[in-house]
Chain A
Amino acid sequence: MNHRQKGRLLLGGQYAGLTLWLIIALLPPVILLAAAFNETAMFRSPLALLTLRDFTLNNFATAFSAGDFWFYFRNSLIISVAAVIISVVVCVPMAYGLNKLRPRVRGALSFAVLAMRFLPHVVLALPLFLIFVDIGLSGSRVGLLLAHLAIHIPFAVWMMVGFFENVPKEMEEAAIVDGCGPWKLFWSISLPVVRPGLNALAILVFIMSWNEYLFALFLAGSDAQPLTVGITRFMGGVEAGAQYGVIAAYASLIVLPVIIFALLANRYIVSGMTAGAVKG
């Protein structure tokens, strides 16, 4: 075997490895989608569902009507969008400011942010439940939103600090010499540089809020329940029974927005998730 053949074989092996992982990564979501379009999804091999032998759209119709889809959808959407807006408004300035503090203070605050970023969600859900009962926020979207923000703020600040570190110091110094004030320095010098970071922040926070379940279980009461609670309730109810197809349709509708996001904005997701990787 000569050198060239060996190189070909190696490349083929690389593609084979990647394809194997691609199948493992995509099989569950693809089966879920396929099941949603099949008349009878139960007692059949999920692999056979992929042929779409008894194609139907009825599952979606049932999911919309019996599953109370739009009620939960509204809650999910309102909370996720509000979480994105507030996270951007609060966290971006904070991440910017952290870089400007004295090193000791900055170190202490960074540690606090990091410790909060690692926080187990249940340790917030329990006391928030009690606090919200006290102050009349239990079962409200505002309460649920606050709980989401408790997770988003440390995450977003940590991530944005990574982006702001890419702003060249010389750029800011030149602006100061030109008589640029602190607000303008932030708004017109640093912010444009971290624009991709803002996109990453918005997308990741939206996905995190959209996917959240634990807080909803504790805090949503009956009026503020999002889709993640909606589907578990639907599965527990009598309408669902053993209708795997309807459950799959419901589930597909929930994951569709995040999957579309991931396909369209994967660049930002990647940059956001790696932003905190190389700093202390």
Chain B
Amino acid sequence: MQNSSLNRYTRGWYFVLPGLIAMLLIVAFPLAIAFRFSLHDVFLYDFGNQWFVGLENYLYAINDPLFINSVRVTAIFTVANTLGCLVVGLLVAFLLSGKKIRFKAGWMALFLMPFVMTPVIVGITWRLFMWEPDFGVINQVLGFFGVSGPYWLTDRSTALFATALTNAWHLTPMAILVLYAALTTIPDETYEAARVDGAGPFQTLWYVVLPMIRAHILFVSIIIMTSAFREFDMVFTMTGGGPGRSTTVMSILAYNRGIANQDMGMANTIAFTMFMIMAVVAWLYIKVYKVNKEASS
């Protein structure tokens, strides 16, 4: 009763409408256009000529080895990023949440650096100074242990690993800060009780803490997954999709198709496929989230 009177008085729609109209114009409308172009043969600098081809672009894509390759590369890139960020993020957040650790805000401020750094600059920095085969930090450190490192970014077998690791470096702060925020909500008594029961730090983390911050883990996985899935800037500045096609993620393939090959129909097909995958992810997230919330309440 109280709630409905509150709703009536505040007139939600007036506040929502400007933003909603903006979203329809600059998000929904371009999306519709993208879908439309994905059903057409249309070329860059020649938009006047468009041929409706139905789902032909999609059929062509799923039989195109380059498309299949980009899906594989994107999947590896995304999974590696999500797992890497989660594991490192959880460990660092757990360490930082220790009761006796001092200057927590200071640590956190410095931990944010990789995340706020411009992705293009991250790519350039890692390419020139970290992965550089002869003088780069990675191979210098490996050399210290007597290992001679590969030509990371120009070797087909290592380029994807190197770009994924760089991107994970960039995204890990997100996992740290969300999981750290989650960990601070766990009362001290919980740790106390686990300790009394004789659980070590890792047992406590695995059996006691993780189940309590399930919702946050889900949230941060989704955020990292979606950012890694669409990543373009960093990979493009590090390898441009190469060597060969070894780091051609779907975003880069769409760019290549649209700009280099001037095939806007196919570019939109690839991009719209990415959108559909993400829409399913968003839908699943909300479903899982609701199940989670009902289970915990």
Contacts and interface: CB of A to CB of B under 8 A. Distances in A.
Q: Is B one of A's binding partners?
A: yes
Interface of A: 10-11, 14-15, 17-18, 21-22, 24-29, 31-32, 35, 43-47, 90-91, 93-94, 96-102, 109, 111-131, 133-134, 146-147, 149-150, 153-154, 157, 169, 172-173, 176, 182, 185-186, 207, 210-211, 213-214, 217-218, 228, 231-232, 235, 244, 247-248, 251, 254-255, 258-259, 261-263, 266-267, 269-270, 273-274, 276-278, 280
Interface of B: 2-3, 5-7, 9-20, 22-23, 26-27, 29-31, 33-34, 37, 47, 88, 91-92, 95-96, 98, 100-101, 105, 107-122, 124-126, 128-130, 132, 134-137, 140, 169, 172-174, 177-178, 181-182, 201, 215-216, 219-220, 222, 226, 229-230, 232-233, 236-237, 250-251, 254-255, 258-259, 264, 267-268, 271-272, 274-275, 278-279, 281-283, 285-286, 289-290, 293
Given A14-B95, A22-B111, A123 B274 contact: yes
A15 B101 contact: yes
Given A17-B91, A150-B26, A266-B109, A31 B34 contact: no
A150 B122 CA distance: 24
Given A28-B125, A262-B116, A153 B33 contact: no
Contacts of B26: 128, 146-147, 149-150, 153
Nearest to A28: B125
Contacts of A17: 91-92, 95
Contacts of B98: 11, 14
Contact of B101 (A14, A125, A255): A14
18 contacts: A22-B110, A28-B114, A31-B129, A43-B134, A90-B19, A100-B15, A111-B283, A114-B286, A120-B275, A126-B271, A127-B268, A153-B19, A169-B3, A176-B9, A213-B237, A262-B115, A266-B105, A273-B178
A25 B110 contact: yes
Contact of B113 (A25, A101, A169, A176): A25
* Centre residue among A157, A231, A278 by max chain B CB count within 10 A: A278
A214 B251 contact: yes
Contacts of A29: 113-114, 117, 125
A31 B113 CA distance: 13
B116 A207 contact: yes
Given A21-B111, A270-B181, A273-B178, A153 B27 contact: yes
* Centre residue among B101, B124, B254, B290 by max chain A CB count within 10 A: B124
Contact of A278 (B27, B113, B215, B233): B215
Contacts of A47: 137, 140
A273 B219 CA distance: 11
Contacts of B177: 269-270, 273-274
Contact of B9 (A125, A182, A210, A217): A182
